[in-house]
Structure 1
Amino acid sequence: MESIRIFSPATVANLSCGFDVLGLCLDTIGDEMIIRKSDKKGIRIIKITGADLPLEIDKNVAGVAALALVNAYETDFGFEIEIRKKIKAGSGIGSSAASAAGAVFGINKLLGEPFSGHELIQYAMKGEALASGNEHADNVAPALLGGFTLVRGYDPLDVIKIKSPEELYVTVLHPHIELKTSEMRAILNPEIKLKNAIRQWGNVGGLVAGLYTSDYDLIGRSLTDYIVEPLRSKFIPGFDQAKKTAIENGALGAGISGSGPSIFTLNKGLKNATSVNDQLKEIYQKNNIPFETYISKVNPDGIRIIE
């Protein structure tokens, strides 16, 4: 195989209660990437469409992640990367993760898959560090593995894939404002109250249990964030109204996707997901805030090859 064309999906991270440890993979929105072998050693990003992003390897998350991988696996050839961005930067649905994860996935395929999907996460995280200043896996892990993922620990890295219940759908609303991940991390408190930590641990356990048992009510009860959402939600216009309306119209729960500004809801069935989508659109149309919405099942496979 000399070249590969892939779909690298958007993701929803944190899932309210699971800051930096929980994420899921979407199916209906993502970037396209083309990666080719090159006689010239090293990594080159030769083209980016859909976004104004640097081609320099050390300034692009795909380049940083790809370089980390090739430095760990010596070859006598190099790679060229084309990126067709369809996930807006700063949208909160894993734009940087899609680029970083897609780069290492494609190169690994062209190398004959010397690394497992779990092993690729550590290289993709290097790209995330460029974007946010922190090596976190809650977006790149679901992009690479599919489904839901839980990062049990970072030292050493320990990621568990969780299968999604069959009827679970995701609705995402992306208001057209940009919130940089690094800035949204900077507003967080380094210390939290013990009572809030206990509540949050309980919700993480409840959400994981709900996913394994397909207990949709338990999933909904667990989508509560006592730590991050109270600080970040004030930067998202219309958030409180959108969350309240979504739940009143059938959503299991709602919260901030990643660092925002996108808002996600989990829903049982396509009918509820569509109803929530319609209500959220109505709110933002009245507020004159430009936006996009997406409805998606949970993508069970993650990044895929486009034939």
Structure 2
Amino acid sequence: MKGTSLSGVERDALRGRSITIHSPATVANMVCGFDVLGFAVQEPYDIMRIGFSENKGVTIINEDEYDLPTKPEDNVAGAALLAMMEELEEGIGFELRINKQIKPGSGVGSSAASAAGAVVAANRLLGERFTKEDLVRFAMNGEKVASGVKHADNIAPCIYGGVTLIRSIFPLDIVPLHAPPLYVSIVHPQIEVRTSDARGILKQQVQLKDAIRQWGNIAGLVAGLLKNDYALIGRSLEDVLIEPVRSILIPDFEEIKKRSKDAGALGGGISGSGPSIFMLSKDEQTARLVEQEMKAVYARLLLDHHTYVTTINMEGVKFIG
């Protein structure tokens, strides 16, 4: 959507306006769908406020403890906004305040929440000038700052809500998917796994037999979601390509996975690039039991951790003021 311009009257109307949002955490890959599947969750979420600024460009103010870069080019939210502003004919300015509740490096889409939240809020401030697909395209510039790669498996569900399939990046083709009611148990051991590092250890070539098995699981997972078939969803939550490599970065990953499934979880695995682990369950009672098993494993290791029991967020970024 090139060449979108603001009239003088429109710019005057923006002065003094600001918008506050909750931008949700997301789970990317969904075990077998590396870089192509993801879903948003109800919590945790970042709190962001954006307003029109008298100064051109992007001003970033951190309201949290993480001391992230405030230079727009080096900040995921700033990079996303700059990409959006390149498609506005007349220069404007934004002031963005970020209170991150999603810890950077947690594996639940911290960078995506900031990048997606910034452009969704700015778009509302601008009178919804851009489509959701445009917003994904802008926000992917933030993911490139974070990991060196423009990927959308966290960005798309954050903006669209629910579960999304990224059929293609170039050209961008996003398919929102139906999903039955699912409860999500997440454990975040308090260690950091950088997305760029987790990508760096991956094999660049795979055997055909493994690729075939992975394709079957991705197709089975999508079919299970669309058919409300919990058994098929559970059978398809298997990753033979990425998880065997990345799991070595996460303490007692296999133990948590086994104990969670023994407690009744449908299945699950690494959230994004880790270190968080997620498990899907049919009901809240099971999800709570899974959470207790997760806690027990890391309590035994004396490893600090946070847990969440939540559901799939069908709305995505939420406007709160």
Query: Could you tell me the TM-score, scaled by structure 2's length?
Result: 0.94
d(CA) in 2 for partners of 1:151, 1:187 = 23
d(CA) in 2 for partners of 1:46, 1:230 = 39
User: Partner amino acid for 2:169?
Assistant: Y
Q: Is the contact between residue 48 and residue 55 of structure 1 (CA under 8 Å) also seen in structure 2?
A: no
2:152 pairs with 1:147: no
User: Which of residues 191, 195, 202 in structure 1 aligns to 2:216?
Assistant: 202
User: Which of residues 55, 59, 69 in structure 2 aligns to 1:40?
Assistant: 55
Equivalent residue number for residue 190 of structure 1: 204
Query: What are the superposed Cα offsets for residues 21-50 of structure 1, whole Å, 9 maximum, x if unpaired?
Result: 000001021100000011222111133313
d(CA) in 2 for partners of 1:66, 1:283 = 41
Q: Is the contact between residue 35 and residue 152 of structure 2 (CA under 8 Å) also seen in structure 1?
A: yes
2:247 pairs with 1:233: yes
User: Which of residues 67, 71, 87 in structure 1 aligns to 2:82?
Assistant: 67
SS in 1 for 2:272: coil
What 5-or-longer segments of structure 2 have no aligned partner?
A: 1-13
Deviation of 1:155 after TM superposition, in Å, equals: 1.4
User: Which of residues 258, 262, 269 in structure 1 aligns to 2:276?
Assistant: 262
RMSD over aligned Cα atoms: 0.9
d(CA) in 1 for partners of 2:294, 2:157 = 25
Query: Could you tell me the TM-score, scaled by structure 1's length?
Result: 0.98
2:154 pairs with 1:136: no
User: Partner amino acid for 1:229?
Assistant: E
SS in 1 for 2:145: helix
d(CA) in 1 for partners of 2:127, 2:231 = 43
Query: What are the superposed Cα offsets for residues 99-145 of structure 1, whole Å, 9 maximum, x if unpaired?
Result: 00011111111110111212210000000001001000000000000
Query: What are the superposed Cα offsets for residues 158-197 of structure 1, whole Å, 9 maximum, x if unpaired?
Result: 010112212x111100000000000000000111000000
What 5-or-longer segments of structure 1 have no aligned partner?
A: none
Q: Is the contact between residue 35 and residue 151 of structure 2 (CA under 8 Å) also seen in structure 1?
A: yes
Equivalent residue number for residue 290 of structure 1: 304
2:37 pairs with 1:22: yes
SS in 2 for 1:72: coil
Q: Is the contact between residue 23 and residue 45 of structure 2 (CA under 8 Å) also seen in structure 1?
A: yes
Identity %, equivalent residues:
51
Equivalent residue number for residue 125 of structure 1: 140
Equivalent residue number for residue 185 of structure 2: 171
Equivalent residue number for residue 259 of structure 2: 245
d(CA) in 1 for partners of 2:170, 2:233 = 28
Deviation of 1:76 after TM superposition, in Å, equals: 4.5
Q: Is the contact between residue 133 and residue 172 of structure 2 (CA under 8 Å) also seen in structure 1?
A: no
Deviation of 1:279 after TM superposition, in Å, equals: 1.2
SS in 1 for 2:204: coil
Equivalent residue number for residue 159 of structure 1: 174
Deviation of 1:75 after TM superposition, in Å, equals: 3.6
User: Partner amino acid for 2:150?
Assistant: E
Equivalent residue number for residue 271 of structure 1: 285
- Structure 1 stretches of 4+ moved >4 Å: none
Query: What are the superposed Cα offsets for residues 263-289 of structure 1, whole Å, 9 maximum, x if unpaired?
Result: 000110111111101111111111111
SS in 2 for 1:260: coil
The number of residues matched between the two structures is 306
